[in-house]
Amino acid sequence: MEKVFVLGGGVTKIGEHWSKSLRDLFVEAALKAAKNSNIELRDMEAVYVGNMSSGELQGQEHLGSLMATWLGIPGVAAVKVEAACASGGAVFHQAYLAVASGVYDCVLVGGVEKMTDAVVHDVTAALIMADDAEYTAFTGASFVGLNALVYRYYMEKYGVKQEDIALFSVHDHKYAANNPYAQYPFQVSLEKVLSSPLIADPIRLFECAPIGDGAAALILCSERFAKESGIKPEVEVAASALATDTISLVDRDDLTTLAATVKAAKKAYKKAGVEPRDIDVMEVHDAFTILGVIHLEDLGFAEKGKGWRLVKEGEIEKDSKIPTNLSGGLKARGHPVGATGVYQVYEIYQQLTGTAPNQVGKAEVGLAQSVGGVGGTVVVNILRRVR
C-alpha cells in the first residue's frame, strides 16, 4: 500500500446559503483546497463527491460529472459516494483507497449538501432514508425519533440524568464560538438547552444538529506525487476503516453501543499502530448529544455507561485528556450531511498543522469518526503529523 498524504483543504461557512447552489458550494470549497495545497485542479486524476440527498432535495444526481464540469476539468474520473450521514467519511475512505492502492497519485475529495431551501417535510423524508425506508419509515418513525429511543434506553439502562448528557451541546457551542465557519458560533447554557422545545422525547431542540448547507474539500496525494512535485507533506493518513451494522435498531443486541464504531475503530487503531491513549484530538459525529456520549465509550475512551463523565468532568476540553469536537461538532459547527465527514477530517488536519481555531498544543495524532444512520455505517479516519 502506498502512503497517502493530505496536502490541504478548504471549506465553506455552514449556514443558510439561499443564493448558492449545490455546485457553487462544492466549487468554492474545491478551489480553496487547491489554493491551500498549491495544486492545480488540472493535476487531479479523480474527483470524489460525498452527498446524501441531492436526488431527493435538488432533483439532481450524477454529481461526479456535474462537479467535474463546473470545476473545469471534464474528462477526469469522478463519482458520487453515498452512505447516509456518513457520506463524507465514506467518500474520504474511497479516495484514500484509490491513492493507497496506487491507482491514482493525486485526487480531490469533497462533500456537499444543500438542505435549507427544501421544506422541512422533504428534509425529514430524506433523512429517514438513512434507515430501512420500507420497514422503518413505513411506521411513521423519524430520524430524531430513532435517536430518542436510544437516548431514553441509555438513561434507563445506566441510570444517567439528561442534564449530564445535554452538557455535550454546551461543550460544542463553547468551541464553535471561535470557529469562523461554524453555523452557530455562540455559547449556550445548560439551562437554555434543557428549556428548548421538545423534538422527540427526551431530545430537546438544542441537543440536535441543525439543518444547513455547506461543502468541504481536501487534496490527497501519494508519496511519489509529493516527491516528484517537490512537496513536503505535513499530514499522513495513518488509517481509514469502514464498518457496518444492521441498518435498523430493531435488529440490534444493544441500543447503547454502535457495533460498527467498535469494529471500525479496532481496524483503524491496528492499521495506524496506535491505541486510544495515543489520540491527541478527536472529532466525533454528535448529531444528537446522546451519540457524542456513546461514541466516547465505543471508541475506547470510557467504560459503557460512563462516557458522560468525560464531558461533565472536563476531560474532553482543549487542554485535557481527549480534546473532542473543538470545531463545535455537528451541533454547533453544523451538519451539512454529505459534507460533515470531510469537515471533520479537515478539522483534524488543521489541528495537526497548528492552524485550528481552537488549537491543541503539539497534536501528533487525530481521529475523525463519521456515522451513517443510527450506526448503520461508521467510518474512522486517523491522521498523523509527519515528523
One pLDDT digit (tens) per residue for the chain, 387 residues:
899 999 999 999 999 999 999 999 999 999 999 999 999 999 999 999 999 999 999 999 999 999 999 999 999 999 999 999 999 999 999 999 999 999 999 999 999 999 999 998 899 999 999 999 888 878 888 999 999 999 999 999 999 999 999 999 999 999 999 999 999 999 999 999 999 999 999 999 999 999 999 999 999 999 999 999 999 999 999 999 999 999 999 999 999 999 999 999 999 999 999 999 999 999 999 999 999 999 999 999 999 999 999 999 999 999 999 999 999 999 999 999 999 999 999 999 999 999 999 999 989 999 999 999 999 999 999 999 998
Q: What is the pLDDT of residue 137?
A: 79
pLDDT, residue 341, reads 98
- Between strands 46-50 and 198-200, the pairing is unpaired
Are both 4-119+211-236 and 126-208+237-385 of the same fold?
Answer: yes
Orientation angle between helical segments 162-176 and 289-298, nearest 10 degrees = 90
Cis ω before 185 (30° cut-off from 0): no
What per-residue confidence (pLDDT) applies to 345? Answer: 98
Would you call 285 a catalytic residue per the annotation?
no
Q: If we measure between CA atoms, which residue out of 37, 101, 106, 100 comes closest to residue 73?
A: 106
Please report the pLDDT score of residue 353 as a whole number.
Answer: 98
CB-based contact 216:110 (threshold 8 Å): yes
Q: Which residue has the cell 463524507?
A: 88
CATH fold of 4-119+211-236? Peroxisomal Thiolase; Chain A, domain 1 (3.40.47)
- Which of 275, 246, 235 shows the shortest CA–CA distance to 355? 235
Whether residue 357 is preceded by a cis peptide bond, meaning omega within 30 degrees of 0, is no
Distances (CA, A) of 201 to 4, 43, 190, 205, 226: 44, 51, 17, 10, 52
Question: What residue segments make up the domains of the chain, in order of their start?
Answer: 4-119+211-236, 126-208+237-385
pLDDT of residue 138: 81
Name the catalytic one among 17, 173, 285, 335.
335
Residues 144 and 128: their CA atoms lie apart, in Å, by 9
- How far apart CA 131 and CA 121 sit, in angstroms, is 16
List strand residue ranges (DSSP E) for the chain, in order: 4-11, 46-50, 77-81, 106-113, 198-200, 203-204, 214-222, 235-244, 281-283, 365-372, 377-385
3-state secondary structure of 222: strand
In the block, residue with C-alpha cell 471534464: 74
Q: Angle at the Cα of 146 (from 145 to 148), degrees rounded to 5?
A: 60
Active-site annotation holder among 17, 62, 85, 295: 85
Q: Is 17 a catalytic residue?
A: no
Question: Could you give the count of Cα atoms lying within 13 Å of 256 in the half-sphere of its Cβ?
Answer: 18
Please indicate, yes or no, whether the overall pTM of this predicted structure exceeds 0.95.
yes
Q: Residue 387's pLDDT is what? A: 87
Any idea which residue has 450524477 for its cell? 62
Q: Which fold has domain 126-208+237-385?
A: Peroxisomal Thiolase; Chain A, domain 1 (3.40.47)
